Amino acid sequence: MRAVHPGMVRVTPAAATDLDAIEEISRHSFKSPWPRKTFEEELARPHARLDVARRGPGEVVGYVNFWLVADEVHLLAIATHPDARRGGIGATLLRHLVDGARARAARLVTLEVRAGNEPAIGLYRRFGFVDVAMRRGYYGDDDEDAIVMILELRDAPAS
């Protein structure tokens, strides 16, 4: 996979045919990647969105998974293929999520992030997310803490 410029990608809803690529990205991105069945279930949930960043007609270089619950959006996962990292794909996916939340008149976006995941925390803070709580031992695979972050959409600058 070659490097990707964020302007060269488009974000589209994921399809079942994207699951192999999503699984691969997940395996490279998370200590405890989700099983394929979880992604299949996300595709079927009416309140869930699983969207992918595509380069060209079909190559998946990243994904974002979130839930729309009442007037809130909860970010479950966001990841970029290792060969496309540090090129703005994550920011493109997060911008897609935030813009979609605004379009749905959501009042906030919430997420949990590993306390040691400095690149992700930095990305979220650049978008205006703030820390609101710490969940001690949240991640069962290694008992790492999670930082709970929120973005109040009425206070956040439009992209």
Q: From the candidates 112, 118, 138, 139, give the one annotated as an active-site residue.
A: 112
Element (H, E) at 104: none
Concatenating the DSSP letter of every residue in 85-98 gives: TTSSHHHHHHHHHH
Residue 59 annotated in active site = no
**Widest pairwise Cα distance in the chain:** 42
Residue pair 57/18 in contact by the 8 Å Cβ criterion = no
Is 23 designated active site? no
**How far is 63 from 77, CA to CA, in rounded Å?**
8
Rounded to an integer, what is the distance from CA 105 to the centroid of its chain? 19
Please answer whether residues 44 and 6 qualify as being in contact, where contact means their C-beta atoms are separated by less than 8 angstroms: no
Q: Indicate which residues carry an active-site annotation.
A: 112, 124
